[in-house]
Structure 1
Amino acid sequence: MELGLLYSRIREDEKMLLTELRDRGHEVTTIDVRKLQFDLNESPSEFDEVDIAFNRAMESSRIRYVAQFVDHYDIQVVNSPETARICADKVRGSLALKEAGVPTPDTEVSFDHESAIESIERFGYPCVLKPVTGSWGRLMARIDTRAAAEAILEHKETLGGYEHKVFYIQEFVEKPGRDIRVVAADGEPIAAMMRSSDHWITNVARGGRTEKFEVNDEVRDLAERASAAVGGGLLGIDLMETGDSYTVHEVNSTCEWKGLNQAVPEVDVPARIVDWIEHRAQEVAA
Protein backbone atom coordinates (compact mmCIF):
# COMPACT_ATOMS: atom_id res chain seq x y z
CA MET A 1 0.00 0.00 0.00
CA GLU A 2 1.27 3.45 -0.93
CA LEU A 3 -0.27 5.85 1.55
CA GLY A 4 -0.25 9.60 1.14
CA LEU A 5 -0.26 11.32 4.54
CA LEU A 6 -1.60 14.82 3.94
CA TYR A 7 -0.59 17.30 6.61
CA SER A 8 -0.03 20.94 7.42
CA ARG A 9 1.95 20.16 10.57
CA ILE A 10 3.43 16.92 11.84
CA ARG A 11 2.14 16.61 15.40
CA GLU A 12 2.76 13.80 17.89
CA ASP A 13 -0.31 12.03 16.50
CA GLU A 14 1.13 11.91 12.97
CA LYS A 15 4.55 10.81 14.28
CA MET A 16 2.97 7.82 16.03
CA LEU A 17 1.03 6.96 12.90
CA LEU A 18 4.09 7.19 10.64
CA THR A 19 6.09 4.97 12.99
CA GLU A 20 3.40 2.29 12.96
CA LEU A 21 2.99 2.40 9.18
CA ARG A 22 6.71 2.14 8.50
CA ASP A 23 7.15 -0.61 11.09
CA ARG A 24 4.66 -2.62 9.04
CA GLY A 25 6.61 -1.98 5.85
CA HIS A 26 4.20 0.42 4.17
CA GLU A 27 5.44 3.08 1.79
CA VAL A 28 4.34 6.50 3.00
CA THR A 29 4.49 9.73 1.04
CA THR A 30 4.20 12.71 3.37
CA ILE A 31 2.58 15.63 1.57
CA ASP A 32 2.54 19.14 3.02
CA VAL A 33 -0.67 20.55 1.53
CA ARG A 34 0.51 24.12 2.16
CA LYS A 35 3.21 23.67 -0.51
CA LEU A 36 0.98 22.43 -3.32
CA GLN A 37 -1.04 23.99 -6.12
CA PHE A 38 -4.24 22.02 -6.66
CA ASP A 39 -5.06 22.02 -10.37
CA LEU A 40 -8.54 21.39 -11.76
CA ASN A 41 -7.13 19.12 -14.48
CA GLU A 42 -4.08 17.26 -13.18
CA SER A 43 -3.14 16.13 -9.71
CA PRO A 44 0.18 17.34 -8.25
CA SER A 45 3.05 14.95 -8.97
CA GLU A 46 3.28 14.14 -5.25
CA PHE A 47 0.15 12.02 -5.71
CA ASP A 48 1.48 9.94 -8.62
CA GLU A 49 2.12 6.79 -6.58
CA VAL A 50 -0.52 7.27 -3.89
CA ASP A 51 -3.20 4.57 -3.58
CA ILE A 52 -5.06 6.05 -0.62
CA ALA A 53 -4.72 9.43 1.07
CA PHE A 54 -5.18 10.07 4.79
CA ASN A 55 -6.20 13.68 5.29
CA ARG A 56 -4.55 15.05 8.45
CA ALA A 57 -4.49 18.70 7.38
CA MET A 58 -5.32 21.29 10.00
CA GLU A 59 -7.96 24.05 9.76
CA SER A 60 -11.43 23.39 8.44
CA SER A 61 -11.00 25.08 5.06
CA ARG A 62 -7.89 23.04 4.24
CA ILE A 63 -9.52 19.84 5.43
CA ARG A 64 -12.58 20.36 3.24
CA TYR A 65 -10.90 21.59 0.06
CA VAL A 66 -8.01 19.12 0.15
CA ALA A 67 -10.50 16.26 0.50
CA GLN A 68 -12.52 17.55 -2.45
CA PHE A 69 -9.50 17.88 -4.73
CA VAL A 70 -8.04 14.47 -3.87
CA ASP A 71 -11.41 12.86 -4.49
CA HIS A 72 -11.58 14.80 -7.79
CA TYR A 73 -8.28 13.12 -8.76
CA ASP A 74 -9.96 9.70 -8.27
CA ILE A 75 -7.81 8.87 -5.24
CA GLN A 76 -9.65 7.54 -2.22
CA VAL A 77 -9.28 9.98 0.63
CA VAL A 78 -10.20 9.41 4.25
CA ASN A 79 -12.12 11.03 5.58
CA SER A 80 -14.37 11.61 2.58
CA PRO A 81 -15.20 15.10 1.29
CA GLU A 82 -18.78 14.73 2.52
CA THR A 83 -17.70 13.76 6.03
CA ALA A 84 -15.19 16.60 6.12
CA ARG A 85 -17.82 19.07 4.90
CA ILE A 86 -20.38 18.06 7.53
CA CYS A 87 -18.00 17.86 10.47
CA ALA A 88 -16.24 21.14 9.68
CA ASP A 89 -19.49 23.05 10.17
CA LYS A 90 -21.34 22.78 13.48
CA VAL A 91 -24.64 23.70 11.84
CA ARG A 92 -24.37 20.91 9.27
CA GLY A 93 -23.17 18.54 11.98
CA SER A 94 -26.12 19.30 14.26
CA LEU A 95 -28.60 18.93 11.40
CA ALA A 96 -27.07 15.59 10.37
CA LEU A 97 -27.30 14.22 13.93
CA LYS A 98 -30.88 15.44 14.36
CA GLU A 99 -32.01 14.03 11.02
CA ALA A 100 -30.49 10.66 11.97
CA GLY A 101 -32.34 10.63 15.30
CA VAL A 102 -29.12 10.88 17.33
CA PRO A 103 -29.72 12.74 20.64
CA THR A 104 -27.97 16.12 20.48
CA PRO A 105 -28.34 19.34 22.52
CA ASP A 106 -31.13 21.74 21.64
CA THR A 107 -29.69 24.34 19.28
CA GLU A 108 -30.90 27.45 17.50
CA VAL A 109 -29.15 29.45 14.76
CA SER A 110 -29.75 33.16 14.22
CA PHE A 111 -28.32 35.71 11.79
CA ASP A 112 -29.20 38.92 13.57
CA HIS A 113 -28.36 40.43 16.96
CA GLU A 114 -31.95 40.74 18.14
CA SER A 115 -32.89 37.27 16.92
CA ALA A 116 -29.88 35.84 18.74
CA ILE A 117 -30.89 37.61 21.95
CA GLU A 118 -34.37 36.10 21.64
CA SER A 119 -32.84 32.62 21.33
CA ILE A 120 -30.55 33.21 24.30
CA GLU A 121 -33.41 34.48 26.45
CA ARG A 122 -35.51 31.48 25.44
CA PHE A 123 -32.77 29.06 26.48
CA GLY A 124 -32.16 30.99 29.67
CA TYR A 125 -28.89 31.44 31.53
CA PRO A 126 -26.44 29.87 31.25
CA CYS A 127 -26.43 28.90 27.59
CA VAL A 128 -23.59 28.46 25.11
CA LEU A 129 -22.56 30.43 22.02
CA LYS A 130 -20.22 28.58 19.67
CA PRO A 131 -18.46 29.46 16.41
CA VAL A 132 -19.77 27.42 13.47
CA THR A 133 -16.22 26.34 12.62
CA GLY A 134 -13.21 25.75 14.83
CA SER A 135 -11.72 23.26 17.26
CA TRP A 136 -9.98 22.90 20.63
CA GLY A 137 -12.79 24.79 22.34
CA ARG A 138 -11.70 28.13 20.90
CA LEU A 139 -14.11 31.11 20.78
CA MET A 140 -16.78 29.25 22.73
CA ALA A 141 -18.62 31.32 25.33
CA ARG A 142 -20.79 30.38 28.28
CA ILE A 143 -23.34 33.17 28.57
CA ASP A 144 -24.54 33.80 32.12
CA THR A 145 -26.29 37.16 31.84
CA ARG A 146 -28.08 39.43 29.38
CA ALA A 147 -25.20 41.92 29.66
CA ALA A 148 -22.68 39.22 28.71
CA ALA A 149 -24.86 38.19 25.76
CA GLU A 150 -25.02 41.76 24.45
CA ALA A 151 -21.26 42.23 24.76
CA ILE A 152 -20.30 38.92 23.13
CA LEU A 153 -22.72 39.34 20.23
CA GLU A 154 -21.46 42.86 19.57
CA HIS A 155 -17.89 41.58 19.61
CA LYS A 156 -18.69 38.81 17.12
CA GLU A 157 -20.52 41.23 14.82
CA THR A 158 -17.41 43.40 14.53
CA LEU A 159 -14.94 40.56 13.81
CA GLY A 160 -15.50 40.81 10.07
CA GLY A 161 -15.88 37.25 8.80
CA TYR A 162 -19.37 36.24 7.73
CA GLU A 163 -19.24 33.07 9.84
CA HIS A 164 -18.99 35.20 12.99
CA LYS A 165 -22.44 36.56 12.14
CA VAL A 166 -23.93 33.08 12.24
CA PHE A 167 -24.97 32.80 15.88
CA TYR A 168 -24.99 29.13 16.89
CA ILE A 169 -26.69 29.01 20.30
CA GLN A 170 -27.02 25.85 22.34
CA GLU A 171 -28.53 24.79 25.61
CA PHE A 172 -26.07 24.44 28.48
CA VAL A 173 -25.89 20.77 29.47
CA GLU A 174 -25.14 20.28 33.15
CA LYS A 175 -22.46 17.67 32.64
CA PRO A 176 -20.70 16.40 35.81
CA GLY A 177 -17.43 18.23 35.13
CA ARG A 178 -16.51 15.93 32.26
CA ASP A 179 -17.40 14.72 28.81
CA ILE A 180 -16.54 11.64 26.77
CA ARG A 181 -14.45 11.34 23.60
CA VAL A 182 -14.84 8.17 21.55
CA VAL A 183 -12.46 7.60 18.65
CA ALA A 184 -14.24 5.34 16.19
CA ALA A 185 -13.38 3.89 12.79
CA ASP A 186 -16.50 3.66 10.60
CA GLY A 187 -18.60 3.56 13.75
CA GLU A 188 -16.56 0.91 15.60
CA PRO A 189 -15.04 2.38 18.80
CA ILE A 190 -11.27 2.03 19.01
CA ALA A 191 -11.09 3.45 22.53
CA ALA A 192 -12.68 6.15 24.66
CA MET A 193 -11.72 8.52 27.44
CA MET A 194 -13.34 10.90 29.88
CA ARG A 195 -12.05 14.48 29.78
CA SER A 196 -12.52 16.39 33.00
CA SER A 197 -11.69 19.92 34.08
CA ASP A 198 -12.53 22.52 36.70
CA HIS A 199 -13.44 24.72 33.72
CA TRP A 200 -16.65 24.04 31.78
CA ILE A 201 -14.56 23.43 28.64
CA THR A 202 -12.88 20.03 28.99
CA ASN A 203 -10.82 19.77 25.76
CA VAL A 204 -7.39 18.20 26.27
CA ALA A 205 -5.93 21.09 24.25
CA ARG A 206 -7.29 23.38 26.98
CA GLY A 207 -5.77 21.38 29.84
CA GLY A 208 -8.46 18.77 30.38
CA ARG A 209 -7.47 15.69 32.39
CA THR A 210 -8.03 12.27 30.83
CA GLU A 211 -8.90 8.83 32.07
CA LYS A 212 -10.13 5.64 30.47
CA PHE A 213 -13.82 5.25 29.71
CA GLU A 214 -15.32 1.79 29.23
CA VAL A 215 -17.57 1.89 26.18
CA ASN A 216 -20.99 0.51 27.10
CA ASP A 217 -23.71 -0.67 24.75
CA GLU A 218 -25.49 2.70 24.63
CA VAL A 219 -22.31 4.64 23.82
CA ARG A 220 -21.33 2.05 21.21
CA ASP A 221 -24.74 2.42 19.57
CA LEU A 222 -24.53 6.23 19.62
CA ALA A 223 -21.02 6.17 18.14
CA GLU A 224 -22.20 3.93 15.30
CA ARG A 225 -25.26 6.08 14.58
CA ALA A 226 -23.35 9.38 14.80
CA SER A 227 -20.68 8.03 12.47
CA ALA A 228 -23.27 6.94 9.90
CA ALA A 229 -25.00 10.34 10.17
CA VAL A 230 -21.89 12.22 9.00
CA GLY A 231 -20.68 9.69 6.43
CA GLY A 232 -18.29 7.47 8.40
CA GLY A 233 -14.51 7.50 8.58
CA LEU A 234 -12.09 7.97 11.45
CA LEU A 235 -13.94 10.24 13.86
CA GLY A 236 -13.77 11.77 17.30
CA ILE A 237 -17.28 11.59 18.73
CA ASP A 238 -17.98 13.77 21.76
CA LEU A 239 -20.74 12.92 24.21
CA MET A 240 -22.03 14.39 27.44
CA GLU A 241 -23.85 12.58 30.21
CA THR A 242 -27.45 13.65 30.77
CA GLY A 243 -28.54 11.86 33.93
CA ASP A 244 -28.76 8.20 32.98
CA SER A 245 -28.24 8.76 29.26
CA TYR A 246 -26.02 10.67 26.78
CA THR A 247 -26.17 13.39 24.16
CA VAL A 248 -23.78 13.75 21.21
CA HIS A 249 -22.70 17.37 20.94
CA GLU A 250 -20.05 17.14 18.22
CA VAL A 251 -18.36 14.84 15.69
CA ASN A 252 -14.80 15.69 14.64
CA SER A 253 -13.37 14.63 11.29
CA THR A 254 -9.68 15.23 12.05
CA CYS A 255 -9.44 14.08 15.63
CA GLU A 256 -6.28 13.84 17.70
CA TRP A 257 -5.47 10.69 19.67
CA LYS A 258 -2.32 11.50 21.65
CA GLY A 259 -4.30 12.07 24.86
CA LEU A 260 -6.42 8.99 24.25
CA ASN A 261 -3.34 6.81 23.69
CA GLN A 262 -2.05 7.90 27.11
CA ALA A 263 -5.41 7.36 28.80
CA VAL A 264 -5.83 3.77 27.55
CA PRO A 265 -2.32 2.21 27.64
CA GLU A 266 -3.78 -1.27 27.06
CA VAL A 267 -4.97 -0.16 23.60
CA ASP A 268 -2.43 0.70 20.90
CA VAL A 269 -4.46 3.45 19.25
CA PRO A 270 -2.11 4.12 16.28
CA ALA A 271 -1.98 0.37 15.56
CA ARG A 272 -5.77 0.15 15.53
CA ILE A 273 -5.95 3.13 13.18
CA VAL A 274 -3.47 1.49 10.80
CA ASP A 275 -5.55 -1.70 10.93
CA TRP A 276 -8.48 0.36 9.70
CA ILE A 277 -6.43 2.09 6.97
CA GLU A 278 -5.20 -1.31 5.76
CA HIS A 279 -8.79 -2.53 5.57
CA ARG A 280 -9.74 0.55 3.55
CA ALA A 281 -6.76 -0.02 1.22
CA GLN A 282 -7.83 -3.64 0.67
CA GLU A 283 -11.27 -2.39 -0.36
CA VAL A 284 -9.62 0.00 -2.84
CA ALA A 285 -7.54 -2.84 -4.28
CA ALA A 286 -10.61 -5.05 -4.60
Structure 2
Amino acid sequence: MGNRVAVVADRIGWEERRLIEIGAEFGLRIDWVNDESLCAGHRDAEPVKDYDALLVRSRSYTRGGLIATLAEADGLRVLNSAAAIHACENKLVLRAVLREAGVPVPDFRLVLSRKDYEKALDGIGLPVVLKPVYGGMGKRVTLVRDSDLAHSVYDYVEDLGHAFEQACLVEPYLGGGSIRCLVVGREIVAAAEFESAGTDWRSNAALGNQTRAMALDPDVQKVVDGVVDRLGSGIYGVDLFKTPSGYLVNEVNHAPAWRGVASATGVDVASAVARYVQETLE
Protein backbone atom coordinates (compact mmCIF):
# COMPACT_ATOMS: atom_id res chain seq x y z
CA MET A 1 0.00 0.00 0.00
CA GLY A 2 3.00 2.30 0.52
CA ASN A 3 3.55 5.02 3.04
CA ARG A 4 0.51 6.94 4.25
CA VAL A 5 0.79 10.71 4.32
CA ALA A 6 -1.74 13.11 5.78
CA VAL A 7 -2.01 16.52 4.16
CA VAL A 8 -3.14 18.55 7.15
CA ALA A 9 -5.02 21.63 5.95
CA ASP A 10 -8.23 23.56 6.45
CA ARG A 11 -9.26 23.01 2.84
CA ILE A 12 -8.31 21.22 -0.36
CA GLY A 13 -6.78 23.65 -2.80
CA TRP A 14 -5.27 23.10 -6.24
CA GLU A 15 -1.89 22.11 -4.78
CA GLU A 16 -3.30 19.62 -2.29
CA ARG A 17 -5.48 18.04 -4.97
CA ARG A 18 -2.46 17.54 -7.24
CA LEU A 19 -0.51 15.87 -4.43
CA ILE A 20 -3.37 13.49 -3.71
CA GLU A 21 -3.72 12.65 -7.43
CA ILE A 22 -0.06 11.79 -8.02
CA GLY A 23 0.83 10.23 -4.67
CA ALA A 24 0.52 6.65 -5.90
CA GLU A 25 3.20 7.30 -8.56
CA PHE A 26 5.68 7.72 -5.70
CA GLY A 27 4.43 4.90 -3.51
CA LEU A 28 2.43 7.23 -1.29
CA ARG A 29 -1.16 7.18 -0.18
CA ILE A 30 -1.95 10.83 0.43
CA ASP A 31 -5.15 11.84 2.22
CA TRP A 32 -6.56 15.15 3.31
CA VAL A 33 -7.04 15.53 7.06
CA ASN A 34 -8.99 18.61 8.07
CA ASP A 35 -6.98 20.58 10.62
CA GLU A 36 -10.24 21.67 12.25
CA SER A 37 -11.17 18.12 13.24
CA LEU A 38 -7.95 16.79 14.80
CA CYS A 39 -8.69 17.56 18.46
CA ALA A 40 -4.93 17.12 18.89
CA GLY A 41 -3.39 16.38 22.26
CA HIS A 42 -4.05 12.69 22.84
CA ARG A 43 -1.09 10.56 21.72
CA ASP A 44 -3.37 8.23 19.79
CA ALA A 45 -5.46 10.94 18.14
CA GLU A 46 -7.65 9.00 15.72
CA PRO A 47 -7.33 11.21 12.60
CA VAL A 48 -3.53 10.86 12.30
CA LYS A 49 -2.40 7.85 14.33
CA ASP A 50 -1.98 5.54 11.31
CA TYR A 51 -0.02 7.95 9.11
CA ASP A 52 3.70 7.76 8.48
CA ALA A 53 4.04 11.52 8.03
CA LEU A 54 2.08 14.74 8.27
CA LEU A 55 2.49 17.34 5.53
CA VAL A 56 1.27 20.50 7.23
CA ARG A 57 -0.36 22.90 4.77
CA SER A 58 -2.71 24.86 7.02
CA ARG A 59 -3.25 28.37 5.69
CA SER A 60 -3.10 29.54 9.29
CA TYR A 61 0.52 29.61 10.40
CA THR A 62 -0.53 29.55 14.04
CA ARG A 63 -2.80 26.53 13.56
CA GLY A 64 -0.16 24.67 11.55
CA GLY A 65 2.58 25.41 14.04
CA LEU A 66 0.53 24.19 17.00
CA ILE A 67 -0.43 20.96 15.24
CA ALA A 68 3.17 20.35 14.13
CA THR A 69 4.46 20.91 17.67
CA LEU A 70 2.10 18.33 19.17
CA ALA A 71 2.70 15.81 16.38
CA GLU A 72 6.48 16.04 16.73
CA ALA A 73 6.22 15.65 20.50
CA ASP A 74 4.27 12.43 19.92
CA GLY A 75 6.99 11.08 17.63
CA LEU A 76 5.32 11.69 14.27
CA ARG A 77 7.32 12.80 11.25
CA VAL A 78 6.23 16.31 10.28
CA LEU A 79 6.98 18.36 7.17
CA ASN A 80 7.87 21.14 7.65
CA SER A 81 9.27 21.05 11.15
CA ALA A 82 7.42 22.83 13.92
CA ALA A 83 10.42 25.09 14.48
CA ALA A 84 10.42 26.15 10.82
CA ILE A 85 6.68 26.84 10.83
CA HIS A 86 6.91 28.89 14.01
CA ALA A 87 9.74 30.95 12.52
CA CYS A 88 7.78 31.57 9.32
CA GLU A 89 4.54 32.55 11.09
CA ASN A 90 6.07 35.62 12.72
CA LYS A 91 7.70 38.15 10.40
CA LEU A 92 9.77 39.64 13.23
CA VAL A 93 11.08 36.26 14.39
CA LEU A 94 11.91 35.27 10.81
CA ARG A 95 13.79 38.51 10.18
CA ALA A 96 15.67 38.14 13.46
CA VAL A 97 16.79 34.53 12.99
CA LEU A 98 17.79 35.08 9.35
CA ARG A 99 19.70 38.26 10.15
CA GLU A 100 21.50 36.48 13.00
CA ALA A 101 22.48 33.74 10.52
CA GLY A 102 23.87 36.30 8.07
CA VAL A 103 21.02 36.03 5.58
CA PRO A 104 20.27 39.47 4.06
CA VAL A 105 16.86 40.92 4.95
CA PRO A 106 15.37 44.40 4.42
CA ASP A 107 15.95 47.15 6.95
CA PHE A 108 13.01 47.21 9.37
CA ARG A 109 11.69 48.59 12.64
CA LEU A 110 9.42 46.83 15.12
CA VAL A 111 6.46 49.11 15.86
CA LEU A 112 4.47 48.56 19.06
CA SER A 113 3.20 52.10 19.61
CA ARG A 114 2.65 55.42 17.85
CA LYS A 115 5.92 56.65 19.33
CA ASP A 116 7.71 53.67 17.73
CA TYR A 117 5.92 54.42 14.48
CA GLU A 118 6.98 58.05 14.38
CA LYS A 119 10.60 57.10 15.11
CA ALA A 120 10.49 54.48 12.35
CA LEU A 121 9.19 57.01 9.83
CA ASP A 122 11.93 59.47 10.79
CA GLY A 123 14.64 56.80 10.70
CA ILE A 124 13.70 55.13 7.41
CA GLY A 125 12.00 57.96 5.54
CA LEU A 126 8.96 57.83 3.28
CA PRO A 127 7.78 55.89 1.39
CA VAL A 128 7.55 52.94 3.75
CA VAL A 129 5.60 49.71 3.98
CA LEU A 130 3.63 48.99 7.14
CA LYS A 131 2.86 45.30 7.64
CA PRO A 132 1.52 43.18 10.50
CA VAL A 133 3.94 40.87 12.28
CA TYR A 134 1.33 38.11 11.94
CA GLY A 135 -0.48 37.53 8.66
CA GLY A 136 -0.05 36.55 5.04
CA MET A 137 -1.35 36.81 1.47
CA GLY A 138 -0.68 40.55 1.42
CA LYS A 139 -3.44 41.36 3.91
CA ARG A 140 -3.10 44.63 5.84
CA VAL A 141 0.18 45.42 4.09
CA THR A 142 0.06 49.15 3.42
CA LEU A 143 2.23 51.42 1.29
CA VAL A 144 2.59 54.79 3.04
CA ARG A 145 3.75 57.54 0.67
CA ASP A 146 3.08 60.75 2.61
CA SER A 147 2.98 61.92 6.22
CA ASP A 148 -0.75 62.75 6.29
CA LEU A 149 -1.62 59.23 5.23
CA ALA A 150 0.94 57.80 7.64
CA HIS A 151 -0.84 59.10 10.73
CA SER A 152 -4.30 58.24 9.43
CA VAL A 153 -3.21 54.67 8.75
CA TYR A 154 -1.91 54.26 12.28
CA ASP A 155 -5.28 55.34 13.67
CA TYR A 156 -6.64 52.07 12.28
CA VAL A 157 -3.80 50.08 13.85
CA GLU A 158 -4.54 51.57 17.27
CA ASP A 159 -8.20 50.58 16.92
CA LEU A 160 -7.38 46.91 16.47
CA GLY A 161 -8.53 44.94 19.47
CA HIS A 162 -5.51 42.83 20.41
CA ALA A 163 -1.86 43.58 21.03
CA PHE A 164 -0.71 40.92 18.59
CA GLU A 165 -2.77 42.59 15.85
CA GLN A 166 -1.14 45.94 16.60
CA ALA A 167 2.43 44.60 16.35
CA CYS A 168 3.81 45.79 13.00
CA LEU A 169 6.98 46.17 11.00
CA VAL A 170 7.93 49.29 9.10
CA GLU A 171 10.39 48.87 6.25
CA PRO A 172 11.51 50.83 3.17
CA TYR A 173 9.43 50.48 0.04
CA LEU A 174 11.63 48.50 -2.36
CA GLY A 175 9.52 48.59 -5.51
CA GLY A 176 6.61 46.68 -6.97
CA GLY A 177 8.19 43.36 -7.85
CA SER A 178 9.47 40.27 -6.08
CA ILE A 179 10.89 36.83 -6.77
CA ARG A 180 9.29 33.62 -5.53
CA CYS A 181 11.58 30.60 -5.19
CA LEU A 182 9.94 27.24 -4.55
CA VAL A 183 12.31 25.15 -2.48
CA VAL A 184 11.90 21.41 -2.03
CA GLY A 185 14.39 19.80 0.31
CA ARG A 186 17.34 22.09 -0.34
CA GLU A 187 16.77 22.62 -4.06
CA ILE A 188 15.14 25.52 -5.85
CA VAL A 189 12.80 23.59 -8.16
CA ALA A 190 11.21 26.69 -9.75
CA ALA A 191 11.58 30.44 -9.60
CA ALA A 192 9.43 33.23 -10.98
CA GLU A 193 9.24 37.00 -10.87
CA PHE A 194 6.02 38.65 -9.73
CA GLU A 195 5.01 42.13 -10.74
CA SER A 196 2.14 44.11 -9.25
CA ALA A 197 -0.95 44.08 -11.46
CA GLY A 198 -3.20 47.02 -12.25
CA THR A 199 -3.52 49.56 -9.47
CA ASP A 200 -2.42 47.18 -6.70
CA TRP A 201 1.22 47.87 -5.81
CA ARG A 202 1.68 44.62 -3.88
CA SER A 203 3.61 41.80 -5.54
CA ASN A 204 2.08 38.68 -4.06
CA ALA A 205 1.15 35.38 -5.71
CA ALA A 206 -2.14 35.29 -3.80
CA LEU A 207 -3.19 38.56 -5.47
CA GLY A 208 -2.98 37.22 -9.01
CA ASN A 209 0.02 39.27 -10.06
CA GLN A 210 1.77 38.97 -13.40
CA THR A 211 4.27 36.12 -13.36
CA ARG A 212 7.20 35.12 -15.55
CA ALA A 213 9.79 32.37 -15.24
CA MET A 214 13.22 33.30 -13.97
CA ALA A 215 16.53 31.64 -14.76
CA LEU A 216 18.42 30.46 -11.70
CA ASP A 217 20.85 33.09 -10.44
CA PRO A 218 23.85 31.95 -8.34
CA ASP A 219 23.29 34.92 -6.03
CA VAL A 220 19.70 33.80 -5.46
CA GLN A 221 20.90 30.27 -4.75
CA LYS A 222 23.37 31.56 -2.17
CA VAL A 223 20.67 33.48 -0.30
CA VAL A 224 18.23 30.56 -0.41
CA ASP A 225 20.95 28.20 0.83
CA GLY A 226 21.33 30.48 3.83
CA VAL A 227 17.59 30.29 4.53
CA VAL A 228 17.56 26.49 4.36
CA ASP A 229 20.71 26.23 6.49
CA ARG A 230 18.87 28.15 9.22
CA LEU A 231 15.36 26.65 8.94
CA GLY A 232 16.27 23.12 7.85
CA SER A 233 15.36 21.21 4.71
CA GLY A 234 11.71 21.45 3.79
CA ILE A 235 9.12 22.81 1.40
CA TYR A 236 9.21 26.60 1.26
CA GLY A 237 8.20 29.59 -0.77
CA VAL A 238 11.08 32.03 -0.36
CA ASP A 239 10.20 35.56 -1.44
CA LEU A 240 13.03 37.90 -2.38
CA PHE A 241 13.48 41.55 -3.28
CA LYS A 242 16.12 42.44 -5.85
CA THR A 243 17.95 45.63 -4.87
CA PRO A 244 21.09 47.42 -6.12
CA SER A 245 22.98 45.92 -3.19
CA GLY A 246 21.76 42.35 -3.78
CA TYR A 247 18.88 40.05 -2.95
CA LEU A 248 16.98 40.39 0.33
CA VAL A 249 14.63 37.84 1.89
CA ASN A 250 11.21 39.36 2.41
CA GLU A 251 9.24 36.36 3.66
CA VAL A 252 9.33 32.57 3.82
CA ASN A 253 6.10 30.60 3.47
CA HIS A 254 5.93 27.16 5.10
CA ALA A 255 2.95 26.02 2.98
CA PRO A 256 3.48 27.77 -0.33
CA ALA A 257 0.97 27.89 -3.13
CA TRP A 258 2.70 27.05 -6.39
CA ARG A 259 0.07 27.09 -9.10
CA GLY A 260 1.22 30.43 -10.52
CA VAL A 261 4.90 29.53 -10.50
CA ALA A 262 4.20 26.10 -12.00
CA SER A 263 2.16 27.70 -14.78
CA ALA A 264 4.88 30.25 -15.55
CA THR A 265 7.79 27.79 -15.48
CA GLY A 266 6.22 24.52 -16.62
CA VAL A 267 7.75 22.73 -13.62
CA ASP A 268 5.82 19.86 -12.07
CA VAL A 269 6.19 21.09 -8.51
CA ALA A 270 3.77 18.55 -7.08
CA SER A 271 5.96 15.67 -8.29
CA ALA A 272 9.02 17.30 -6.74
CA VAL A 273 7.19 17.58 -3.42
CA ALA A 274 5.92 13.98 -3.55
CA ARG A 275 9.41 12.73 -4.42
CA TYR A 276 10.87 14.62 -1.47
CA VAL A 277 8.30 13.15 0.89
CA GLN A 278 9.03 9.67 -0.48
CA GLU A 279 12.79 10.11 0.02
CA THR A 280 12.27 11.49 3.51
CA LEU A 281 10.34 8.35 4.50
CA GLU A 282 12.86 5.89 3.08
TM (norm. structure 2) is 0.94
Native 8 Å contact 2:184 2:276 kept in 1? yes
Residue matched to 1:207: 208
Q: What secondary structure, in the 3-state scheme, does the structure 2 residue paired with 1:27 have?
A: strand
After the TM superposition, which residues 1-286 of structure 1 pair with which residues of structure 2 at under 5 Å, given as runs? Answer: 1-39=3-41, 41-173=42-174, 175=175, 177-198=176-197, 199-243=200-244, 245-265=246-266, 267-282=267-282
Q: Hey, what's the Cα distance between the residues in 2 that align with 1:112 and 1:48?
A: 45
Moved more, 98-107 or 200-209: 200-209
CA apart distance, 1:244: 6.2
CA distance in 2, matches of 1:124, 1:17: 45
Alpha-carbon distance in 1 for matches of 2:189, 2:46: 34
Offset at 1:23?
3.6
SS in 1 for 2:47: helix
In 2, Cα distance between equivalents of 1:26 and 1:276: 11
Q: d(CA) in 2 for partners of 1:255 and 1:229?
A: 18
Secondary structure of 2:225's match?
helix
The AA in structure 2 aligned to 1:280 is T
Structure 1, 16-25 or 55-64: larger mean CA deviation:
16-25
- In structure 1, stretches of 5+ residues that fail to align are none
Structure-2 change in CA distance of 1:118 and 1:244 (3 Å): closer
Deviation >6 Å, runs of 4+: none
Contact 1:3/1:26 (8 A) holds in 2 = yes
Q: How far did 1:25 drift? A: 4.0
Deviates more, 1:107-116 or 1:77-86: 107-116
Aligned-pair CA distance for 1:9: 0.5
Q: Which moved more, 1:19-28 or 1:142-151?
A: 19-28
Contact 1:87 1:230 in 2 (8 A): no
- Match of 1:261, SS state, is helix
- What is the CA-CA distance between 1:281 and the residue it aligns to? 0.9
- Shift of residue 182, structure 1, vs aligned partner: 0.2
Q: Deviations over 1:209-231 (max 9, x none)?
A: 11101111111111111122233
